[in-house]
Amino acid sequence: MADERNFRSSYYEKVGCRGVEEKKSLEILMKEKPWDRVKLKQFCLRFTVPAAYRNLVWKVLLDILPVYADSHQFVAEQRTDQYNHMLYAVEMLELVDMKAPRSEILLAMWLLENEERKPPKFPETNYNSADTFIPIANTLLQLYDDEVDVYWLSKMLTEIVRNMQKELPKLKEAFQSMLEKEDGELYNHLVEKKALDVLPLTKWFNCCFAGVLDDTSLTKIWDKICSGAPKILSFVAVTLVITLRRNILKARNGDEVLKCVSEIPEQCEEVVANKAIELWQYYAQPQNDQLAKK
């Protein structure tokens, strides 16, 4: 039955039926006054957000814009003014080389807003926040033309990562438990080669796979993260490792395993994202409904 459901879902998606229905459902939600953030989260947890609406939906989910659609333009103008003031300030104070990559300029603005001289480390893990902010900003710069949106989305996604630092041990435990359940042979191989601790899980989780998976694959994952479900990152890690299992099983030590997971074939990236979401929804849907209500 599960195989039949997956086949039907895949078929509907290919012929465009599923996407049309999802778009209509989202448009109905967007006509409500005000928007119901709980319903919006539920939609994003169950479906992929249509690309045409993703930027707007993320901004409402992350409280960059309010749930009152009539106020969107005014608040967006205020966000733009804040962005321009910070951009002007970092240039006048010479806090960053204005010829630097755009993500570094956005980082300097974020530091100025937070009254920090250099990127702070997350206290729970001692992880440099710049290694979260910059990859996320680089990905968003590929997705969106408006740098104002890129700045605010980068800031709020980095805040999500900062807030989930205490949960990282649980995410890693969930990864190991799920991997053992889904592919015992691969799990035992990693244990035998003492390679579980070599996997860059902290890096993957703290950049939400930015710079690891391609931009279009990431958006599907970030739909869930913006909706309050960072646990999906464990499922992405499991799916990524299983997708690369053939090469990993040939690895003779931890260094070779690390090389395998650092060289992801381009054609695998969307497969990883799609399968990770399927696995996550299969195991975690009741929890997702609770998350959406928060």
> 241 and 283 share a domain?
yes
CB 209, CB 197: distance < 8 Å = no
For residues 181-195, give the mean pLDDT: 96
| pLDDT at residue 16 tops 90 | no
Q: What are the beta bridge partners of residue 121?
A: 128
pLDDT band for position 206 (cuts 50, 70, 90): very high
Give the Cα-Cα-Cα angle 134, 209, 256 (nearest 5 degrees): 110
Cα R_g (the chain), whole angstroms: 20
pLDDT tops 60 at residue 11: no
Asked whether residue 180 falls in the same domain as residue 287, the answer is yes
Lowest mean pLDDT across 6-10, 73-77, 249-253: 6-10
- For residue 79, give the CATH number of its domain: 1.10.8.680
Is 195 found in the same domain as 110?
Answer: no
Residue where a domain terminates, one of 163, 178, 199: 163
The per-residue pLDDT for range 135-187, each reduced to its tens digit, is 999 999 999 999 999 999 999 999 999 999 999 999 999 999 999 999 999 99
Whether the per-residue pLDDT at 109 is higher than 60: the answer is yes
Range of the domain at 35: 1-54
Name every residue whose Cβ is closer than 8 Å to that of residue 161 and which is 6 or more positions away in sequence.
122, 132, 205, 206, 207, 208, 230
Looking at the fold, whether 71 and 149 belong to one and the same domain comes out as yes
pLDDT class for 19, splitting at 50, 70, 90?
low
Instruction: Report the pLDDT value the prediction gives residue 9, as an integer from 0 to 100.
Output: 45
- pLDDT band of residue 283 (cuts 50, 70, 90) is confident
Q: What is the average pLDDT across 191-216?
A: 95
* pLDDT (0 to 100) of residue 17: 45
Q: Which of 132, 147, 163 is the last residue of a domain?
A: 163
Q: pLDDT by residue (tens digit) across 219-260?
A: 999 999 999 999 999 999 999 999 999 999 999 999 999 999
* 137 and 237 part of one domain: no
pLDDT at 294: 60
Last residue within a domain, chosen from 54, 71, 95: 54
Residues 33 and 1 in one domain: yes
Q: Is the pLDDT at 105 greater than 80, yes or no?
A: yes
As for how many domains the chain has, the answer is 3
Rounded to whole angstroms, how far apart are CA atoms 227 and 42? 8
User: Is the peptide bond preceding residue 230 cis, with omega within 30 degrees of 0?
Assistant: no
Please name the residues in contact with 92: beta carbons below 8 A apart, sequence gap of 6 or more: none
pLDDT > 90 fraction of the chain, expressed in percent and rounded? 83
